[in-house]
Structures are given as C-alpha cells and as structure tokens.
Structure 1
Amino acid sequence: MPVERASTVVFDDLDSFERRVDRLYDGFSYGLYGTPTSRQLEDHIAALEGGSRALVVPSGMAAITLTTMAVCHGGDRVLIPETFYGPAREMAARLLAPLGIDTVTYDPKLDGRLSALIDGRTQLVWVESPGSATFEVQDVPAITAAAHEAGALVAVDNTWASHLLFKPLKHGVDISMQALSKHAGGHGDLLMGSVAVNDDTLFRRLKDTARFLGYGVSPEDCALCERGLMTMPVRMRQADSTAQNIISWLSERPEVAQILHPSEPDHPGHSTWKRDFAGSAGVFSFVLQPELAPHQSEALRRMRLFRLGASWGGVHSLISVSDPRKGRSGLDWLKPGPVWRLSIGLEAVGDLLADLSQAFEHFAETRRTTVGDAKAAE
C-alpha cells in the first residue's frame, strides 16, 4: 500500500457527497477519518489482535482517553489499577472528573475479588498487565468474568506484551489497546496508539468518539508502523533474550535488592503469566539497595549505551527511574530502595553488560568507602 496523503476526498456526484457520512466506518469521507494507508494498518492490527475491527489514533494516551470517553459518561465510574500509566491517571483526575466520571483505583492483585468494587455505575474496568513499573500480572479472565457479570466492559492496556505475547480479545476482553509507539513502532520515531474489538457496535462508538475528538494519524507514521510490525517478532525475541542475560547478571549483584519481572518465580502473578502469556518482553525493573539512592545520579552519568528516557520497546536501551510507591497501597511485597526500569534494545549483550558494570562500579566504590569509614570509626 502506498502512502496516501489526503485531507480532502472528492466525490463523483451530489448524491454520494450528501451521503458521505455513510462511508465513515468502511469507506473514505475525509482524510481525518481514515485513508487507504491508515485503513490497511487498522486491518493488520485487527488481524494480529484476533479482532474484527481496529482503530489507530495519535498515541497510546489518546487510545486510553478515547476508550474511556467512548464508554463512560457523566455519572459513570471507571476502575483503573494502581499500576496504570501515570499520565492516564492524571487525565482521569483533570479531564474525567470535571465531566462527572468517577475514577476508582484498585490493587492490581485483586483479580476476581475486584467484583466487590464494581457497582451499578461502573461501565469500564481497565487492566494493565504487567503494570508499568512494578510489573504485577493480573488475572485477565477472572477480572473479565467479574466485570461482565456486573454489566461492565473491560479494556486492557497490552503494550508490554503486545499481540505477540498475549491476546486479550481471546480471553474475553472487550477492548485491546496498545501504544504502538513502543514495540510496534520499534525505533523511537513515531507516536501512535490502537484499539481493537470484536464488536461492530462498539467499534462505531469508538470511531464516532475519535472523530468528535479530532483524532487523526499521519499516513507517514502508519507506514513507519507497518515497517515496525514486519520486524517486531525478531526485535522482541532478541530484546527478551538479552534481558534474561542481564537479569542473571543483576541477580548476582549485591547492589540489587529485587528483580521485577514476570518470569521471576516469586513475582506477583508469575503463575498467571506462565498460564496466559506466550513469553516475555525485554522491559523490566529492579530495586537498588536503599543506601545507594544518593549515588544514582553519578552512576547514571557514567552510562553510555543506556540513556535516561521514559519510553520502551525501541532499538536503543533506556533507563527510567521512579518511585512507584507514591500514591499506592499494597506494596508490602516490594523491597525498599530506588526502582530502575530497563528497556533492552538491540545492542550486543556484552556491550550492555559492560555499560552496566562500569556504572555499578561507582556503587561498589561507594559501598567500599562506607565500609572503610565504618571500620576507621571503630
């Protein structure tokens, strides 16, 4: 499919022009609502997700906002896990609340027990599995069963696993969402999100809301995403393989208090991950020993391949530093200390380990100095 650039669509006669809204869902009526390039990408996303229809929007954040506003209205409630994407939680407070849409956060480990929080006003339950920073895996079938029994829809942010490792629609979920900026784009050079469904009525609700919000995507970005989809399986396998090597290395380091990755046997939701997922991604976190917190900046400054950045899924490795404990409960399982999230790229594993080693040497020097000072004081 060539890159079709078009804002204006022309018509052969007055009758077709006056009925152009009929083309909104399956044809072409105006460039904002879809071009042949974007429709091809949507068809591919739907097929990969195991859905019947899909819609691409300007970002993953746009996909979350679109989904929530298409399903919920004033007086309704939406449930989101405490691990949910940070900007989306802020959106709930600053955009949804003034519209009369109440947001309730929940412990991602509740799973089927979530039913206690679902009342008659609850229209949507969001799931993010694994979560953004701490990577708890949620029992999607159990949550979906509880939500559907109460008449609520379920949407899953499936960005970490993508359609390659987990297919939410196959587990009864109503809306599967991805930030295509991450694994699908794969090169850190585009912003895009997607939603996929198996219900045409729901698709039309999403499509209508997207056009009322003015969401459109660049055909050039769609072409970049198509390129990314073709190499995505190879990139994700390579990143995961490298990540497993790095996890093994980190597990032996005294500076590391805890590894946060679904493949770890003691990780929250590990058994659910083994049951439902086809593998793991090269994005994970680890907890540093608490006493190293004041020395993070120097260690990060020493790194050359790993760069500070809040995204993931690209060819270049990234580190994001955060404190997931802020505004959260039920984190008694998380050990104290700074949390670093790594997104493993396509660099050679030996080079990445060397980069980590020279940065961690600063931590080792700090620990040696601390011990030496303590002995001198004795």
Structure 2
Amino acid sequence: MDLSYIINELGEDRALYFNAVAPPILQSSNFASNTVADMRRMLQNEAEEYMYTRGNNPTVTMLEKKLAALEGAEHAIAFGSGIAAVSAAVLSQVKAGDHVVCTKYVYSWTRTLMRRFLPRFGVEVTLVDGTDPENFRKAIKPNTTLIYLESPTSFTFDLQDIEAVTAIAKEHGCSTIIDNSFASPLHQNPLKMGLDLVVHSCTKYIGGHSDAMGGVICGKREVINQIFKREYMTLGAILSPHDAWLLLRGLRTLPVRMERVAASTRQVVDYLVQHPKVEKVLFPFLKDNPQYELAQNQMSNNSGQFSIILKTENIDEVDLFCDSLNHFLMAASWGGHESLIYPIAATYATPDHTSDLPFNLVRFYIGLEDPEYLIKDLEQAFSKLP
C-alpha cells in the first residue's frame, strides 16, 4: 500500500462529512441504534461497531486504520498512552503461573510493569541482555509464554535480532511483542520479521508536536479483537477523539519529519564522536558499533535518539554540561519538533533510584532545528567543562 495513500486517504470518506479536507472530531460518547435489532447486532459485534466511544469512535478508527497499514498489520487498537498499549498487550498474553522473558533497559514504566506489577499476579519475569539471541533461548522455561522486545532500547539503543529471537519464540511456542516507538513504523516493520504484536507510543513520532498522548497495538485482527473484548474494554484506557485528531494531523508530516530528524541526527552524532570530552556515543548506525550490520539489515534508517557518555567521573560536571545547554530542552519524552536531553544524573540520589545506567550518560533527541544551531550550543556547553 502506498505511503502517501495511507497517510492522506486511507480510512477517510470525505463524502460522509461534507467533503471537509480535515477529518471531523466526532466528540460523541454515544451512538444511537434505530431498532432493538440494530442494538442487538452492535452488542454482538461491538469490536467492529460504533456504539459507545469507550469501544469505537470514527475519528479514532481513522487513526487505527492508518497505523495498522503503516505496520503492515491486519488491525490496530489505539489507547490513551503508550504504556497503556504496552500493558494491555502484555496482559493479553499472560496469566498467573506464566513466565516472561524481556530485554533489559526497556522503557522505565515497561520495566516497572515487568518487575513490580506482573509478579504481584503470579507472573514471573526474567530480564536478559537482548544483544545476543541465545540469551532468550537460555532464559526460556517450560512456562514461558511471552518474549518482549524493545529495539532499539530506550537509553542504550541496543538492538535485538528480531528475526532470530522470533524464530526462537516460535520454536518454544511463545508469543512475541515489540515496542517499535524508537524506530517508528517508517524505519522498522517487525511484523514482517515474524513478530506477533507491535506497540507504539503515539505520543512520540506519530504525534510529532508534543501536544497529544496516545498508544497503539498492531497485529492480526483476531488477536486485536480479543484484546478489545478483554483488556481494552475492561481497563478503559481509551484514546479521546480529540487526541486521535491531533495524531492524525501529526501523521500527515511523519515522512518529512523523519527524514529531517534522521539527517540532522547523523550530523550531530558525527560532531560528538570526535569530541574529546565524549567518552562514547551509543548509536547503532555508527560503523564501529558492533550492531551496525544488524541495524542496516532490520532498519531502513536511523531515527533521532542516541546517548553519550561524558568523559568525567564527577556528577557535578554532568549537571554543568546539561544546565549550560540553551537550545536543548530537558524533558522526559521525545519525537516532537524540539530537541531534548534526558540526563541519567537527574535520577541519582532520588528515593526510588533503581537505574544501573552510569550517571554520566545523557540521552539526546534531535528535533527539527538546524543541526549547525544545535552543534554550536553543544560546543559552548562543552567549553564550560574543566
């Protein structure tokens, strides 16, 4: 299916809404039935009908159709946040007594789900170094039902060999889920590599403007409809029609934004790699990265995130460098027009600090600014360090 068609036309029937170019926000909680027979039919097939916006909503459906097509999936279901989608996807595949194998350094709230939430309900979780597929095989137990991936990972940007891990999962009868947010559906399509379910935080690249929250699960229609009937309808973490409309707006520019972000990121990374005050750049598309070939094989392009390890043993110097940046916002998310940093040093000395990442690691997201503008800012911040 053509990318331009997916983004600009798929799921949109303008004749239904006065040929308006922008789709409407159908901000209705209820949809009426004409007869008892109609209501009976809708109740029997609520996953495919418009009856109540906690189930389906036409504005949300437009977004779901586009996201499914971008991932090459049969169907998709949208949520109010990325972690809502992650949680529903995971819960749909496990029950008490099951075992999950998950790659390390996943998104912090996914890690919380794995380490603190699932064990409360009798689900055991093993975290492994996902850079070696054999680590997943070694961790599998007779009661393992799910392997969870995030590639690239959130702070270290390690990759998992998706095809190899998927083959191991199928060999042992395990289902598979991957968080594909960091690559975007334009740069990586895990379903084509054998994964069962793909999740995204739509808050990031899909929205692209830092003004809407959302998440999505993509997969086979039968599986998605089962999630609709159980986890989605029961837990109620729905996406509002207004946020769906904002995410639809963001999708219109996704290809041009991703192209710009990818090119600018490479330019900034090239500057940082040679800087004497940078110990290491964590970015899989560097030729000396041990996963460079894998990145080339399973991703069509880089995206905008990477991390650096500053050459310092002093946390105050990390603070000074980050505080000296004028054109990078310090924030937790990413994927919008603005460039960001997230210093691991900010998590140190907090009451619930659990990170095993080094304090001198700083995650970067490169937005839509001119790369030269960002490099000048980096240079002046580095100049403040002893």
**Normalization by structure 1: what TM-score?**
0.91
Q: Is the 8 A contact 2:336 2:367 kept in 1?
A: yes
Between the aligned partners of 2:371 and 2:266, the Cα distance in structure 1 is 10
1:253 pairs with 271, 275, 296, which one? 275
Is residue 2:108 matched to residue 1:86? yes
Runs of 4+ in 1 over 3 A off after TM superposition: 323-329
Aligned to 1:70: 92
Q: How does 1:111-130 map to 2 (within 5 A)?
A: 111-130=133-152
Aligned to 1:375: none
Aligned to 1:293: 315
Q: Is the 8 A contact 2:33 2:39 kept in 1?
A: yes
Aligned to 1:169: 191
Aligned to 1:354: 376
Secondary structure of the residue that 1:362 maps to in structure 2?
coil
2:209 pairs with 187, 207, 213, which one? 187
- Residues 292-314 of structure 1, C-alpha deviations (whole Å, 9 max, x = no match): 53212222222221011111111
Aligned to 2:56: 34
2:171 pairs with 149, 152, 158, which one? 149
Structure 1 counterpart of 2:224, which letter?
Answer: F
Secondary structure of the residue that 1:248 maps to in structure 2?
helix
1:226 pairs with 234, 248, 260, which one? 248
Between the aligned partners of 2:167 and 2:263, the Cα distance in structure 1 is 34
Aligned to 1:207: 228
Give the CA deviation at 1:3: 1.1
Give the CA deviation at 1:98: 1.1
2:344 pairs with 312, 316, 322, which one? 322
Structure 2 counterpart of 1:196, which letter?
Answer: C
Is residue 2:156 matched to residue 1:134? yes
In structure 1, runs of 5+ residues without a counterpart are 367-378
Structure 2 counterpart of 1:359, which letter?
Answer: A
Secondary structure of the residue that 2:54 maps to in structure 1?
helix
Q: How does 1:97-112 map to 2 (within 5 A)?
A: 97-112=119-134
Give the CA deviation at 1:337: 6.3
Q: Is the 8 A contact 1:78 1:103 kept in 2?
A: yes
Question: Are the structure 2 counterparts of residues 147 and 327 from structure 1 closer, same or farther at C-alpha, using a change threshold of 3 Å?
Answer: farther
Is residue 2:291 matched to residue 1:269? yes
Structure 2 counterpart of 1:218, which letter?
Answer: S
Give the CA deviation at 1:327: 6.6
Give the CA deviation at 1:19: 3.7
Structure 2 counterpart of 1:234, which letter?
Answer: V
Q: How does 1:48-63 map to 2 (within 5 A)?
A: 48-63=70-85
Is residue 2:42 matched to residue 1:47? no
In structure 2, runs of 5+ residues without a counterpart are 1-22
Give the CA deviation at 1:9: 1.6
Between the aligned partners of 2:115 and 2:355, the Cα distance in structure 1 is 16
Give the CA deviation at 1:116: 1.9
Between the aligned partners of 2:255 and 2:322, the Cα distance in structure 1 is 30
RMSD over equivalenced CA pairs, Å: 1.9
Secondary structure of the residue that 1:305 maps to in structure 2?
coil
Question: Are the structure 2 counterparts of residues 111 and 327 from structure 1 closer, same or farther at C-alpha, using a change threshold of 3 Å?
Answer: farther
Structure 2 counterpart of 1:200, which letter?
Answer: R
Between the aligned partners of 1:266 and 1:114, the Cα distance in structure 2 is 25
Is residue 2:46 matched to residue 1:24? yes
Q: Is the 8 A contact 1:185 1:229 kept in 2?
A: yes
Give the CA deviation at 1:54: 0.4
Give the CA deviation at 1:265: 2.2
Question: Are the structure 2 counterparts of residues 154 and 134 from structure 1 closer, same or farther at C-alpha, using a change threshold of 3 Å?
Answer: same
Aligned to 2:8: none
Structure 2 counterpart of 1:358, which letter?
Answer: Q
Between the aligned partners of 2:39 and 2:245, the Cα distance in structure 1 is 29
Secondary structure of the residue that 1:31 maps to in structure 2?
coil
- Residues 161-214 of structure 1, C-alpha deviations (whole Å, 9 max, x = no match): 1110010100000001111101111111111011100x2321122112111111
Structure 2 counterpart of 1:141, which letter?
Answer: E
Structure 2 counterpart of 1:115, which letter?
Answer: R
Q: Is the 8 A contact 1:290 1:337 kept in 2?
A: no
Give the CA deviation at 1:91: 2.0
Between the aligned partners of 2:212 and 2:380, the Cα distance in structure 1 is 32
Question: Are the structure 2 counterparts of residues 141 and 327 from structure 1 closer, same or farther at C-alpha, using a change threshold of 3 Å?
Answer: farther
**Normalization by structure 2: what TM-score?**
0.89
Give the CA deviation at 1:358: 1.2
Q: Is the 8 A contact 1:320 1:340 kept in 2?
A: yes
Between the aligned partners of 1:129 and 1:88, the Cα distance in structure 2 is 13
Between the aligned partners of 2:135 and 2:27, the Cα distance in structure 1 is 49
Using the TM superposition, name which of 269-278 and 139-148 deviates more.
Answer: 269-278
Aligned to 1:196: 218
Between the aligned partners of 2:255 and 2:363, the Cα distance in structure 1 is 22
Aligned to 1:369: none
Structure 2 counterpart of 1:342, which letter?
Answer: F
Between the aligned partners of 2:355 and 2:290, the Cα distance in structure 1 is 16
